[in-house]
C-alpha cells in the first residue's frame, strides 16, 4: 500500500459501518489512532499481526487487560475488512491477548424485588410524588429491561398507554437508535396509576418528563442510583459469591434471563426468538444480547427439559 492508502480505506470502512447503523464514536477515534500508529511504525507495505498487537499494547498500564483486548478486537475487525481488498494483510488472532474473566452479574430474586419495590414506597414525604416515583421507576426497569437512562428520559408523550398493546417510545438512546417497546398490561396499569397521581398532585405543570423530580425536572441518574443503593443496603441485599454488586443494570440482566426461561417453558424456539429480544433491548445485533444471558440453575433446568423433549421426539421418529 502506498502512503495515504490506509487512511482512504479507513474512511471507506467508517462510511460503511455508519451506513449499516453501527455506532462509531470511540471506535472511530481508536481506528484513526491505529492508522496513525501504522503509518509511523510500519516499515513494510503490508500490515502484520505484530504491528496490530504493538498498537493494542501501546497504552498505559491503567488501560488494563480488558482495554488492550478491546483495542486489538477493534483493529482485527478493520483488518479483516481490509484483507478482502488488499493482499498481504494479516488479521491477528483474537487469542493473542488474554481477556479478563467476567464476573457473574447480580440477579435479584422475586422476593428481593418485592421487598425493594415495597421499601421504595417509604422513601420521601408520603404526601409527595417521590415514593411512588421511585417504586414505579424501579418496577418499570424490572419488567421492561430498559436502561436506567432510557426510563429517566421518557417524556409524557412517549408513554403510549392507550395503544394495543401499550408501548413506550424510546428516542435516540444508545447507538443513536429509537425503538418502540411494548409493555404488559399490568405494567401499563402501574404507569396509569402513577400518571393519575402525578396529575392529581399538580406535577404536570412542572415538567414534560414522565418521571419527574421534586424540583420539577428530569431525575438525574446519580440521584436514582444513590436512592437505589440506599434501599439495597437497608434491606441487606448483598453480592453473592462470585457475583458483582447489585446495580440498576442488574434488572436488565434479570429481564433477559427471565425472558429466555419463559420461552423455554412455553416450548418456543429460543434461538429463533433471540433477535426479537435483541431488538427489544435496543442492541445492534444478537451477539450483544448474549452478554446479558447468565446460566442460572433455573434457566439451565428449563433448557435441559427442552432438550429432553427434543431428544424424545427424535427417538420416536
CATH (domain of 135): 1.10.443.10
Domain residues for the domain of 229 are: 110-234
Separation between Cα atoms, residue 103 and residue 98, nearest integer Å: 15
- Report if residue 244 sits inside a domain: no
Q: Answer yes or no: is 155 within a domain.
A: yes
Last residue of one domain, picked from the residues 66, 96, 126: 96
pLDDT in tens, 60-92: 766 777 788 888 889 999 999 999 888 889 998
Annotated catalytic residues are: 147, 174, 249, 252, 283, 292
* Whether 225 and 272 share a structural domain: no
At 206, the pLDDT band (50, 70, 90 cuts) reads confident
Q: Based on the domain organization, do 12 and 66 belong to the same domain? A: yes
Q: Which candidate, 33, 100, 105, places its Cα nearest to that of 64?
A: 100
Residues 294 and 191 in one domain: no
CB 115 within 8 A of CB 133: no
Task: Tell me, yes or no, whether 61 lies in a domain.
Answer: yes
Is residue 187 one of the residues assigned to a domain? yes
**Per-residue confidence at 226, pLDDT binned at 50, 70, 90?**
very high
Q: Which pLDDT score, from 0 to 100, does residue 317 have?
A: 45
* The predicted structure's pLDDT at residue 293: 56
120 with 169, same domain: the answer is yes
Provide the domain count of the chain: 3
Pair 227, 273 in one domain: no
Buried b (16+ CB within 10 A) or exposed e, 289-300: beebbbebeebe
Amino acid at each position: 500500500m502506498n502512503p495515504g492508502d490506509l487512511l482512504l480505506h479507513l474512511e471507506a470502512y467508517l462510511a460503511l459501518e455508519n451506513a449499516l447503523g453501527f455506532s462509531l464514536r470511540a471506535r472511530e477515534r481508536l481506528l484513526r489512532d491505529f492508522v496513525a500508529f501504522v503509518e509511523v511504525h510500519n516499515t513494510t507495505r503490508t500490515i502484520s499481526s505484530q504491528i496490530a498487537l504493538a498498537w493494542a499494547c501501546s497504552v498505559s498500564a491503567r488501560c488494563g487487560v480488558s482495554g488492550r483486548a478491546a483495542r486489538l478486537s477493534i483493529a482485527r475487525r478493520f483488518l479483516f475488512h481490509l484483507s478482502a481488498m488488499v493482499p498481504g494483510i494479516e488479521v491477528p488472532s483474537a487469542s493473542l491477548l488474554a481477556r479478563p474473566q467476567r464476573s457473574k452479574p447480580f440477579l435479584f430474586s422475586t422476593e428481593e424485588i418485592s421487598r425493594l419495590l415495597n421499601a421504595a414506597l417509604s422513601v420521601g414525604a408520603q404526601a409527595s410524588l417521590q415514593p411512588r416515583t421511585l417504586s414505579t421507576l424501579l418496577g418499570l426497569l424490572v419488567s421492561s429491561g430498559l436502561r436506567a437512562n432510557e426510563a429517566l428520559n421518557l417524556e409524557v408523550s412517549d408513554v403510549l398507554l392507550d395503544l394495543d398493546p401499550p408501548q413506550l417510545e424510546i428516542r435516540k438512546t444508545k447507538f443513536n437508535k429509537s425503538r418502540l417497546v411494548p409493555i404488559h398490561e399490568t405494567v401499563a396499569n402501574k404507569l396509569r396509576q402513577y400518571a393519575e397521581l402525578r396529575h392529581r398532585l399538580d406535577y404536570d405543570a412542572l415538567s414534560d418528563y414522565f418521571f419527574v423530580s421534586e424540583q420539577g425536572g428530569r431525575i438525574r441518574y446519580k440521584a436514582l442510583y444513590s436512592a437505589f443503593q440506599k434501599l439495597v443496603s437497608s434491606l441487606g441485599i448483598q453480592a453473592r459469591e462470585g457475583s458483582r454488586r447489585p446495580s440498576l443494570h442488574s434488572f436488565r440482566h434479570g429481564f433477559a434471563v427471565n425472558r429466555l426461561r419463559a420461552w423455554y417453558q412455553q416450548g418456543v424456539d429460543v434461538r429463533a426468538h433471540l433477535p426479537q429480544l435483541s431488538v427489544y433491548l435496543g442492541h445492534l445485533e444478537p451477539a450483544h444480547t448474549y452478554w446479558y444471558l447468565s446460566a442460572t440453575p433455573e434457566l439451565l433446568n428449563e433448557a435441559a427439559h427442552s432438550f429432553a423433549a427434543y431428544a424424545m421426539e427424535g427417538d420416536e421418529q
